[in-house]
Amino acid sequence: MMRPMYRCLLALHPAMFRDRFAEEMLWIFDESQGRWPRKLFVDGVVSLFRQWLLRSNIWKIGVATAVCSVLLFAWWQGQESSLDAAFSRGDPGALEAAAASRIQQTAAQTAARTPDPVKAVQGIVDAFRDHPLVMVGEAHWMQQAGNFYVQLVRDPAFQEAVQDIVVEFASRNNQPLLDRYIAGEDIPMEDVRHIWRDTTKVASWESPIYAEWLAAIREVNKGLPPNRRLRVLAGDTAIDWSQIRTHAEWAALGDNNISFADVIVNQVLAKKHRALVVLGSNHVAKNGGRDADNARTRVESRYPGSTFIVQTNFPGLLDSASQALLSSPGRNTPVLYKLVGTSLGEAADRNGTPLSAKADALLYLGPPETSLALPPAGSLESTYLKEVDRRSMIEWGELRPRKFLGPAAQ
Amino acid sequence: MRESFKELLPLSPAVLHILLALSGEDRHGYGIMQEVLRQSEGKYKLGPGTLYDNLQKLLEQGIVREAAPRSSSADSRRRYYRLTPFGRRLLATEVDRLESALRAARIHLRPRPERT
């Protein structure tokens, strides 16, 4: 009897707390074997109030509603008198103006319920004022994202704001090659491709958006003085595929979050640089993502407050109601929505996690496109595809890239 | 950027006890509660609600992180927690602060000869 009641008490906690800790609290209840049930219940009730009143943002909604109600009432009183005055004067022009003013103000108040977006380039540049790192959690292979990365590095304010760009799609052993390419050195394309091909994740960066982005940075650097050129830092764990024969050897490379964090700490923060970091969403999520300890949490444990997390919007991230809140002023004008303390931040992702628990801002690139930027059909050489098959069998035990590479692998 | 503990100190009694409990080894929630009870000689009983409210904050602040379970056969509901290097430095700073306070207290509270 006591156990179901305690379980109900836990179920009443906010989802974020409940998902993370309720099972553990129930386990403690089981372990205590009813030795101090009353104390556990009192503790549970106190916890319930604390989580809802202090830790969730519900109290802010209550206060905001009360303040809005008072302001709305005061405004309505004022409008009543202006409309009354217009009526009593029998002045149709004044009556029309007063009514139009009321409609405009009502519309403005409705719009204020959703956060105001800012242009994404400007929003990211602004975030560098308070944080040396802006970490973008991307959904890989999105053409919209690729276009935005190019737009970002071409912006003079961005070039002024950062020194480094840390990427997931290059392994650290290729840093010298990457430096030479980004510096503008003439290197045959078959050599350059090693940058995104020889990483710990097999064939995962064949989408042309990554090569196009590197080419854009190379072009930008040609127009910048040497001391202001952007450096691209390879974040992925170093790997020599010629030495990898078994899955155990591949697995022994370990968690690439360790490598990302190491590069960021030693190549960026230790040098007092600022960097844009672009990794998969799980590597940058504020709550640690799938692995509980990701690149962001590892960096924050060394440099608290150093990161500003931007989650890219992608198909399926939000439900249709939350998706409907988003819009951008033009097709090529991505925008950034602040999440902390906003109604959008309270929206849950497909796993039920509030967005504000994962990121500080949402990057909206336009209505999310479900199709991805694939390499052109037949563009991958047969010798490379043979090596992809070998690596694929080592990493996954199946020929998975043959599926996601599409016509390029046929 | 220099490490700053200014906003995190002084630690609340619950946080201090949790960090002390984790300073020796990784522990799960129930283990932390028992260790706190042991360290305080039964005087400080930490409830699960208080424990996990504080753990949530400590995880977000990077002071504590989740650790791998000790054995694969352990109850899957049981999660282990570990003090991060940052958390360890924070605890050491707090202990230094408390030692200074204790020193000052001992000096001022020392019995003195009565004035005649």
The DSSP line for A154-192 is H-HHHHHH-SEEEEEEEEGGGHHHHHHHHTT----HHHH
- Dist CA A329 CA A130 (whole Å): 26
The A-side interface with B (CB below 8 A) comprises: 17, 20-21, 23-29, 31, 39-40, 42-44, 46-48, 50-51, 55, 132, 269, 272, 286-288, 292-293, 297, 300-304, 306
| Cβ–Cβ below 8 Å for B60 and A286 | yes
Which span out of A83-97, A202-216, B54-68 was modeled with the highest average pLDDT? A202-216
| Cβ–Cβ below 8 Å for B84 and A269 | no
Q: Are A158 and A127 in contact (CB under 8 A)?
A: no
Instruction: Give pLDDT tens digits for A208-267.
Output: 999 999 999 999 999 999 999 999 999 999 999 999 999 999 999 999 999 999 999 999
Q: Are A290 and A282 in contact (CB under 8 A)?
A: yes
- Dist CA A92 CA A151 (whole Å): 51
Q: Distance of CA A396 to CAs A150, A241, A399, B20, Å?
A: 32, 15, 8, 42
CB atoms within 10 A of CB A91: 13
Q: Which of B1, B5, B18 would best serve as a mutation to test chain A binding (most A beta carbons within 10 A)?
A: B1
How many CA atoms, within 13 angstroms, populate the side-chain half-sphere of residue A391? 21
Please determine, for the modelled complex, whether the ipTM score is greater than 0.90: no
In B, which residues are within 8 Å of A17 by CB distance?
Answer: 52-53, 56
Supply A252's token pair.
Answer: 């022994």
- Dist CA A226 CA A218 (whole Å): 12
- Dist CA A316 CA A310 (whole Å): 17
**A103: pLDDT strictly greater than 50:** no
**B116: pLDDT strictly greater than 60:** no
Cis amide leading into A226 (omega within 30): no
CA of residue B64 relative to chain centroid, distance: 10
Q: Name the band, by pLDDT with cuts 50, 70 and 90, for residue A109.
A: very low
Residue with tokens 């799960």: B28
H or E element that contains B66: strand B64-67
CA B74, B78, B84, B89 torsion-angle sign: negative
